[in-house]
Amino acid sequence: MADAKPKTSPKAIKFLFGGLAGLSAGLLRQATYTTTRLGIYTILFEKMTSSDGRPPNFFLKALIGMTAGAIGAFVGTPAEVALIRMTADGRLPAEQRRGYKNVFNALVRITKEEGVTTLWRGCIPTMARAVVVNAAQLASYSQSKQALLDSGYFRDDILCHFCASMISGLVTTAASMPVDIVKTRIQNMKMIDGKPEYKNGLEVLVRVVGKEGFFSLWKGFTPYYARLGPHTVLTFIFLEQMNRLYKTYVLDV
């Protein structure tokens, strides 16, 4: 008797497509938020570099990072809202699912059904997170890179960029996890009896700490860093290479 063909579990199908549900939103978020923040940081960093080539100090780097992060977050919030909703959709009961087809369908439907301002729901905590993340990530990367070069053991190459970005990823993880919890819960909150689930970000923090403890703000630190570390490495390595190519083939021509 022929072997029965293996059947694909409905749960497996749901898991597969649930994981891909927010792909278009994730790509749009990177295309808006990441490019904006890195572009603004690079421009401001070069503006603040002295005529003798000396880079700005750490506090000025942090301020530049905060500025770039806040602007990038504002630009990227609509894609962020769509991303959170699309990835959370599969966990909702069938009657509560929104069923967005892709990020553009999500943006159009949110605008029609809830108003254009809903696209910027949670904008303040998103910008607050971006200020913290970029002050930590961009400033710590620039400072780590400068320290490695000053040590005399590194040259301005991929190895130096790799080490500096891994340090940056560690600092960013510690700084961003608490505000990440606030941002996600506010953007995904529901209306209860006509009122929002949370009044503000401070209430989210108080509830989390009160119910789960202070260190729950860093629950999942290792997997978070395992995700953010490689992301930070690739981001800065590609950024450094693109800057090098731009200076070589555009500015120096």
Q: Of 119, 114, 53, nearest to 81 (Cα)?
A: 119
Q: What is the pLDDT of residue 237?
A: 93
pLDDT of residue 16: 47
Please report the pLDDT score of residue 13 as a whole number.
Answer: 47
Do both 112 and 153 map to the same domain? no
Together in a domain, 56 and 114? yes
Burial of 98 (0-12, 13-18, 19+ CB in 10 A): middle
Please indicate, yes or no, whether residues 31 and 104 belong to a single structural domain of this protein: yes
Same domain, 111 and 142: no
Token couple for 111: 């605008």
What is the rounded distance in angstroms from the CA atom of residue 177 to the CA atom of residue 157?
A: 30
Query: What pLDDT, on the 0 to 100 scale, is given for residue 6?
Result: 53
Domain contains 237: no
**Structural domain total, the chain:** 2
| 236: number of Cβ within 10 Å | 23
Closest CA to 183 of 232, 120, 93: 120
21 in a domain, yes or no? Answer: yes
Please name the amino acid found at residue 251. L
Cα–chain-centroid distance for residue 128?
12
Q: Which residue has the tokens 């590194």?
A: 154
Residue where a domain terminates, one of 74, 96, 121 = 121
**Are 108 and 133 part of one and the same domain?**
no
Please indicate, yes or no, whether residues 144 and 92 belong to a single structural domain of this protein: no
Residues 91 and 133 in one domain: no
Same domain assignment for residues 133 and 212: yes
> What is d(CA 160, CA 156) in angstroms, rounded to the nearest whole number?
6
- Asked if residue 76 and residue 25 are part of one domain, the reply reads yes
Matching residue, tokens 């938020």: 33
Give the pLDDT confidence score for residue 39 in this predicted structure.
92
Residue 240 lies in a domain: no
pLDDT (tens, 9 = 90+) of the chain, 253 residues, equals: 455 555 555 554 444 445 556 788 888 998 999 999 999 999 999 899 888 888 899 899 999 999 999 999 999 999 998 888 888 777 777 777 778 888 898 899 989 988 998 899 888 878 888 898 899 999 999 999 999 999 999 999 999 999 999 999 999 999 888 888 887 777 777 777 777 777 777 888 888 888 888 888 888 899 989 988 898 999 999 999 988 888 888 876 6
Maximum C-alpha span of the chain: 82
- 117 and 132 co-located in one domain: no
Beta strands in 86-198 (DSSP E): 191-192, 195-196
45 belongs to a structural domain: yes
Same domain as 148, residue 96: no
What is the value of pTM for the model shown? Answer: 0.72
Residue 253 lies in a domain: no
**In angstroms, rounded to a whole number, what is the distance separating the alpha carbons of residues 231 and 122?**
24
Confidence (pLDDT) at 44: 93
Is residue 183 situated within a structural domain?
yes
Same domain, yes or no, for 93 and 151?
Answer: no
Q: Which residues on neighbouring strands pair with residue 195, listed in sequence order?
A: 192
83 located within any domain: yes
Report the pLDDT value the prediction gives residue 175, as an integer from 0 to 100. Answer: 87
Domain hosting 138: range is 123-219
Do 14 and 90 meet the contact criterion of CB atoms below 8 Å apart?
Answer: yes
Does 242 fall in a domain? no
* Residue 90: per-residue pLDDT: 74
